[in-house]
Amino acid sequence: MEENTQGYDPRYDEGDGNRPDARKSIRGYRIVIIILAVILAAISVLYLNIHRQQQQDYELLVIDRDSIQNNLSDLMTEFDGLQIANDSISANLDAERLRADSLMQRLKKERSWNLSKIKQYEKEVGTLRSIMTGYLRQIDSLNTLNKKLIDENVSFRKEISTATLRAEVAEEKAAELDNKVRQGSVLSARGIRLVALNAKNKEVSRVKNADRLRTDFVLTANALATPGDKTVYVRITAPDGYVISNESVPTFEYEGERLTYSASREVDYQNEDLGIGIFCNGSGFTAGTYTVQLYCDGRLIGESEIPMR
């Protein structure tokens, strides 16, 4: 009985699970599982972090993309708002507008956004912005220059206007003075008388007995008048309203018209009082009021209404 039980251990009759090798194997599996679980958890955390970072990067790319598009849109609006009369600058601005429009089309069509593309587009927009700033400086300089030129032009025009006004005033004063001189140089007659004479040149008291009329007057002294030979015309209007004249009906010019006159005389005037008598022949004189007008140098120099008996 003892030989049959030699080397027997009842603890090993309950199954292979209680064997030392089996327990070691199970413990090893558990360790592997735990390690794999830790690795899987780490990988999951890493994946989540990477995904979260990618999502954040994408959102930032979208923000940067929208920012670039908004900046470019604002820049294009500024380009469109620039107005310049300078042909050279205007042509360059048109070219930059086309360049900005082309960039905007590229931005709208871009699908593979990344940091490199963002930096590239930011650089291009920045270049356009720098060009815009340069044109703004040029336009500002031109506007400043134009304003200066306009101010100088206005000042010059004011000076011209002032000088012209002075010249006009001087011309008006000169014309006024010349007119005064002309008026002052006009001859005048005073002491106008109408005398009835018979055939023997004797004065008669009644005009119906006269064979001729004599107009007496004084051509007054005038230092401004031009001396020399003068023709004096006498125009006598009878009471019936007709101008006394001879058969040839002579005329002279006065203010653009031809007037009939009764008689005339050439005199030598030397700026001193000069007594003159001009004879007018006729017949059939009637009593009443006669109008006597004297003309010289195209002007009326004297007039008087004289009653005759």
Where are the CATH 2.60.40.2560 domain residues in the chain? 189-308
Q: Are 295 and 252 in contact (CB under 8 A)?
A: yes
pLDDT score for 118? 82
Q: What is the rounded end-to-end Cα distance, in angstroms, of the chain?
A: 214
Q: Which of 292, 287, 286, 283 is nearest to 309 (CA)?
A: 287
pLDDT tens digits, 249-291: 999 999 999 999 999 999 999 999 999 999 999 888 999 999 9
Segment 187-209 mean pLDDT: 95
pLDDT score for 56? 65
Q: Where are the beta strands (DSSP E) in the chain?
A: 189-197, 212-219, 228-237, 251-254, 257-260, 263-269, 274-281, 288-296, 299-308
Q: Length of the chain, please? A: 309
198: left (phi over 0), alpha (psi -120 to 50) or beta: beta
Strand order from edge to edge, sheet including 212-219: 189-197, 212-219, 274-281
- pTM exceeding the 0.95 threshold for the entire prediction: no
pLDDT at 193 over 70: yes
Most confident of 50-54, 111-115, 234-238: 234-238
pLDDT at 89 over 90: no
pLDDT at 27 over 70: yes
- The C-alpha atoms of residue 265 and residue 272 are separated, in whole angstroms, by 17
Confidence bin at 2 (pLDDT 50/70/90):
very low
Look over the chain and give the mean of its residue pLDDT values, rounded to a whole number.
82
pLDDT tens digits, 209-228: 999 999 999 999 999 899 99
Most confident of 94-103, 162-171, 213-222: 213-222
Q: Are 265 and 232 in contact (CB under 8 A)?
A: yes
Pick 189-308's CATH classification: 3.30.1490.100, 3.90.1580.10, 3.30.2130.10, 2.60.40.2560.
2.60.40.2560
pLDDT score for 54? 66
pLDDT tens digits, 100-129: 888 888 888 887 777 787 888 888 888 888
